[in-house]
Structure formats: structure tokens, C-alpha cells
Structure 1
């Protein structure tokens, strides 16, 4: 500020002198401009000091949250009776990013964006399982960017919170144990992934909370499934409404979940879930007057304490009027992009996964971890049928897996496992067409890397 005062005095001096000397006018103007510039710089410096001192920011980054995870896998196929020409594959399976914002201490925003299979756009797929070797154009399963979640959460009380928007349906365990550091296999949990939409996100309202620090509940009212996507292989999986820009909401879905936490780790709990929805009302066209209620029940347990980790799920589902759904689906247009195969009335599934950390036997202070593990899945999407629908034993499947997880860092894991999947269908020699005396098998060796942050 001393420089400013000196400048003002100089300006006054030159002003007096300028009254008697005409040739000093230009010098006065130059000095005036120089003082104005210096004054501006001084004011900027003062403002900057005040800005830093008060620690103000145009964007309060402390209110934002960012997290995510990713998976990249390699698959080598051995004996694969259902597709003798199958090729080994690399798959940039998923990159999920979560961006959140805290408006205040009880209102927050959460979003999730998923980059799936390395890109965006439609793909062509050779379907040897249900489409009899036909090429089909896929919009959904390959190269995709999706907004999975976008909702506002109101944290009213520990026992009463409300989410509004598009959110995750926490049904089963795979929806909770969805980060690659939370499950042992390279790919998603097989039984749940073959029967249910994974990940499963719907639009609506979700009420959740916790009592006595251990009893957790969640109740969701959302848009439901579309029965035109049901199939032999996946049961209701492809009824997940992603084929159109907007989801039909003629029939709402009701989901309830209850968990009891009994350990120190957040992934140590036991619980159950239930789902109910009339999927006929959400078909693209009004081509089915009968209802098609989907009822799914499941029980689960997950344990992660000290060196032992395991989890297990048992699942049962029922589809009302599955024979009528099968008949209506068989006459759907090819342009709809659905399987149009017969649908089972009941589905049954069971899974178990367990591993034990062994590196501590060698080095008790090691920060890295090594888990040998085993996993078993059994599932039958045509466990029971009704009407004139013929049960296909091919869709009764069991898979035994064994492998290893190496946590090079608590948030980075290298994985490898071998899988033997057995189908309920008989195997025939591809050359002689004679029965080989055994069931069909699908064997896979896979490896991958997963990370979470």
C-alpha cells in the first residue's frame, strides 16, 4: 500500500506541473497508466492473500466421493461338448466408477457408471446354446457403457433411510459381494449370474436401515421384469428391462431383505431375501391377459473373519403360468432380440465358496495374502415345468472350481482357477452320433486381475 500512496503523490505533483508545461501532458498520461496498472496488481495480491487466508474454494472437493473397481480376464477352453469350435478369449469384463456428492450431513447423491467388455455399441454374437448356431446382434452383452445407479439418499435415522432414483437391488449375495476382491473366482458368481440379472438395478424407492447395530433391512418398490425376455437357459435373467430406452412400469416389483451381522467384518452376516412381480404386465405389447407372477426366495450366509472366508446361497423361484409365457414368447418378433425358448416353472440353485489364507503360516507379518479356494454351484432353470412345456435336462448344471487368489495389495488381486461344469444332457460323439455313456462337460481354465479403490 506504500507504493500506492507514493503513486498518488506523484500524480498530484505531475498534475500541478502540467498546468504550466504542455509537453509534460504525455508523461503524465503514461505515469497515470503505470500507476493504475500497479494499483490493479496490488489489489489482486491483497485479494489473493485474503482468499488463501480464509481457505475458500470455488468447488468444495471434500463433498465429493469417488471409488470403483475393474476386472480383466483370460479364458482357455478345454473339453467343451456344447461348442466344439469355441475360441479362447480375453475379456476386459468391467470397469465400474462410483461418483457421489454430500449435500449436507443427511442428504447425499450416488451414481455408478459401468464400462462393460471394453467399449460401447452393438456386437454380433454366435449363439450356440439357445439359437442353434445362429448369429444374433447384441446390444446388451458386449461393449457397453451404462448408468447403473443414480439416486438421492436421505439418511433420516439409523433405522430409517430412503433412496429415490435408480438403485441396486440387494438380492442374494452377488449384489453385495460384487467387487473382485470380494469373491474368489475370476468371473461373477456362477449360479446367481445364470439365474438373476447381475448387476441388478431398478428405478423406484428403497427404504433401508439398521436396528441394534446388527439387524439390517431393506424394502424396495421398483419397476419389474418383462416376461418376454424369459428363457430356458436363464429363466428370468433376461427379463431385466434394458432393451428399450425406458422401463415399463405397469406392474411394480416388491423386494425385501433382512440380514443379521454376527462378526466384526462387514461381510460376516446371515440373511434372506424375497422378490415378487407380475412380469406379464410389463411385456412390450398387451399380448398376454393372464398374470405371470415371479416369486423368488433365497437364504444366504457370508463369513470373513481372520484367515477364513466362505459364503453360500440357496435359491428357489416360481413362475406363474410359465406354459402360457412360453407360448406367447415363441411367437415374438426376431427384432425384439429375445430367445423365444420354453420357460421353466420352478428354478433351483445352490452355491458354496470357501478359502483360507495360508501366507501367514510362512510370514506372520506379511501384508500380502494368498487364498487357495474351492467353489461349487448347482442350478437348474427348468427344475419343474408345466403344461406342454418339455423339461430340458441340459439346463441342470453343476460346476466345481478350484483355484488361488494372490492379494499383492489389499486392493489388487491376481486370480486363477480351473472349472469343470457338468450338464444334465447326454453327450453324443460328433462324428458317429453315438451316445458316449457320459454327460456333457464344459471345462475352462481362467486367470485374471481385479482391483478396487
Structure 2
């Protein structure tokens, strides 16, 4: 309790000291931008664009020691060769000691309706995988189902097309990617992390089967944005084992998402469902516990406690999510683990102290369906920036 009170006092002092302001720049049609889109939409005929975002967290589980973490620091670099050709990359430092390339792609724009892209790109599934800058989502941490089911940040190497038709209020994306790796060193797919261990992240990625990813967004109703996404293919296996039963699995993933903004009220929701084929052979070969179905959903609502005339914004929010990486195991030759069927409540504040700077605090109640399990709590405090 002393730790929690100290954390709340520190947050209050930080908020009270701030003097900067933020302007609500929400578009009428809710055409939100992420970091890469912001670079691609930059002005000027040629030249370099520099930006970044960062997130620093304090997590205090109930009954355990807390952790302080520079969770991520991302440098954004873009170069505009001409009005049609641009390069975008994100270099990410995680937990101070880990370095990744999050995106690195070349974009050729024929017009607003057709852009051809190739390189390391985000897989368009759900909301947070594409829109994960810390100032654009509530909560110190990203939604948990976006870590285990999607899994964020999910990016792979591929090629595809993207564009929008403003007359129809539609934005589309369609890509061919390499898929998850079947084995990541000694790490297998499955368990509480679902498919997360299979992300190749563009690092000497194995590819033997192309995977299709596509998404359509509709923004024709003021304040509302609806998305439908799909991912279809198989995991990638090494040459020496790719012909063995269980060397890879099939993945069919579907997603629906919605975002709504009206004056001081906002809401969002998401549903993801993944069907895994050949999980039984995979588990037998690799002594793994990959389920034959993974699914999850969440709903969230928020309300700005400050008048719209104010340039700062203080969102009070609450989110409920339920996600299960063992939603079905009957075709996976394993016993379902009910501890992987999780439910979470998250409630807190997001104080946007400047355009691109936010201070956050929330409290979570974490539970699962295992017999005899007792829910636990966790306090999270942090800040995020995006410029």
C-alpha cells in the first residue's frame, strides 16, 4: 500500500508541475495516423524527416517488487526521394539493451488510390499493431490480447499495395509476407504467448510459404472507423525438417475492430480469432502446447474530464478484455490449460499535457479461469511521447 500511495503522489506532483498544453486534433472522419503515415504525409518535395516516440513505465504488482523500465525508445527516419518515392524506417531500443528494426520499407505512390510497398512492414491486424505510439492508446501498457493473440508489434518482410478511396470512405491494404517461424531457437509456438515466439522480425527470416494479409477500413460515418482484417498462410520451417509432419502449422486469423469519437467521449473495441491447423502434429514433434484456436476481445470507453475549450485533455477510461490462447485444443493433442483463459479490467487516466506528450496511470485486476485461481492487482504509472 505504501508503494501505491507513493506512486500516486509522484504522478500527482508530475501533473501539477506541467504547464504545457495539447490540442485535440481528432479528424471528423477519424482518419487516425501512425508514425509511418505521418512521415509519408510530410510536406516538401525532397529531404529527410526525423521523429520518434518513447515510453517509460513503472509497474507495481500486488505483493511483489515493482519494476521501472525505459520500455521503448524509437527513432523514426524517412527520406523523400521524389513526390512518388519515399523510404521509412523505425529503429527501436527496448528495455535499454535490445535493438530492433521495427519498419523499413520503400513506398512508391502512383496516386492516393494505389501505393506499392516492399520491405519490413507492420501486419495490419486489429488496432494497436498499427497504432501503437504511446500517445494514441489508453493505459500504460498495450492491451494484453494485443501481445498474445495478434501479437504486437508484429512485422514481417513482404510486398503489397495500399491506398484509399475517399468517395467510398475506404482504405485498403493487401500484402504478401513471410510467415511466423515454426521454431525460434529453442522456443516453440503455444502456451500463454500464443504465436508471439514465432515472429521473425526481418532478421535473416526463413521463408518457404507466402502468407497473405489484408485489411479494409471504413470511415464514412463521422467519428466512426470500422476495420476488418485477415491473415492466411503457414509457418516457416527449416530446409532439413520442412517435409516432416508437424514441421509447420496453418494459420487463418480474422479480426474486427471499431473506434468512435464524439466530442469528449471515445470508445473502441476489437475481436481477433485464429484457427490453427496441424497443431496436433506440431505439438507431438516439438513437445509444444499450441492450441487449435486462439481468440480474444476487448471493449473500452473513455471520457475527457476537461472542457473542449481547454487545450489539454484528461481521459478517464475503463477497459475489459478476455483472451484465450487455448480457446480450443481438441485437435492439438494436448489438454486445455484454463490459466490461459484470461480476463482483465483496466481503469485509469491519460493526461495529455502537450500535443504529443501524455502522463498515464491505471490499475488492473488480472484473473483467469483456472480452478482455485485468485485475481491479482497491478498499478501502472508512466509517460509517453511522440514527435
TM-score interval, normalised by the smaller of the two chains: 0.7 to 0.9
Match of 2:190 among 231, 239, 248: 231
Report SS of the residue matched to 1:180: coil
Q: Is the 8 Å Cα contact of residues 45 and 80 (structure 2) preserved in structure 1? A: no
List aligned pairs for 1:32-181, cutoff 5 A: 63-78=47-62, 86-119=64-97, 144-181=98-135
Q: Are residue 277 (structure 1) and residue 233 (structure 2) matched?
A: yes
Shift in Å, 1:350: 0.5
Q: Is the 8 Å Cα contact of residues 180 and 198 (structure 2) preserved in structure 1? A: yes
* CA deviation profile, 1:295-330 (whole Å, cap 9, x unmatched): 100100012342122111011111101111111222
Q: Are residue 322 (structure 1) and residue 279 (structure 2) matched?
A: yes
Report SS of the residue matched to 2:192: coil
Give the whole-Å Cα distance in 1 for the aligned partners of 2:81 and 2:379.
47
* CA deviation profile, 1:400-430 (whole Å, cap 9, x unmatched): 0110111111211110000001111123xxx
Q: Is the 8 Å Cα contact of residues 46 and 81 (structure 2) preserved in structure 1? A: no
1:325 to 1:378, Cα distance in 2 relative to 1, 3 A: same
Q: Is the 8 Å Cα contact of residues 179 and 236 (structure 2) preserved in structure 1? A: no
Q: Which sections of structure 2, spanning at least 5 residues, go unmatched?
A: 1-43
Match of 2:358 among 393, 408, 413: 413
Report SS of the residue matched to 1:182: coil
Give the whole-Å Cα distance in 2 for the aligned partners of 1:288 and 1:445.
46
* CA deviation profile, 1:115-134 (whole Å, cap 9, x unmatched): 11112xxxxxxxxxxxxxxx
Shift in Å, 1:113: 0.5
Q: Root-mean-square deviation (CA), in Å?
A: 2.0
Report SS of the residue matched to 2:347: strand
List aligned pairs for 1:160-309, cutoff 5 A: 160-213=114-167, 214-228=169-183, 229-242=188-201, 245-263=203-221, 268-279=224-235, 281=237, 285-286=241-242, 288-289=244-245, 292-309=249-266
Give the whole-Å Cα distance in 1 for the aligned partners of 2:221 and 2:238.
41
Using structure 1 for the length normalisation, give the TM-score: 0.71
Q: Is the 8 Å Cα contact of residues 280 and 288 (structure 1) preserved in structure 2? A: no
Which structure has the larger Rg over C-alpha atoms?
A: 1
1:393 to 1:284, Cα distance in 2 relative to 1, 3 A: farther
Report SS of the residue matched to 1:440: coil
Q: Is the 8 Å Cα contact of residues 227 and 236 (structure 1) preserved in structure 2? A: no
Larger RCO, structures 1/2 (Cα 8 Å, 6+ apart): 2
Q: Are residue 443 (structure 1) and residue 377 (structure 2) matched?
A: yes
1:353 to 1:115, Cα distance in 2 relative to 1, 3 A: same
Using structure 2 for the length normalisation, give the TM-score: 0.82
Shift in Å, 1:96: 1.3
Give the whole-Å Cα distance in 1 for the aligned partners of 2:386 and 2:312.
15
* CA deviation profile, 1:98-140 (whole Å, cap 9, x unmatched): 1101111111111110111112xxxxxxxxxxxxxxxxxxxxx
Shift in Å, 1:349: 0.4
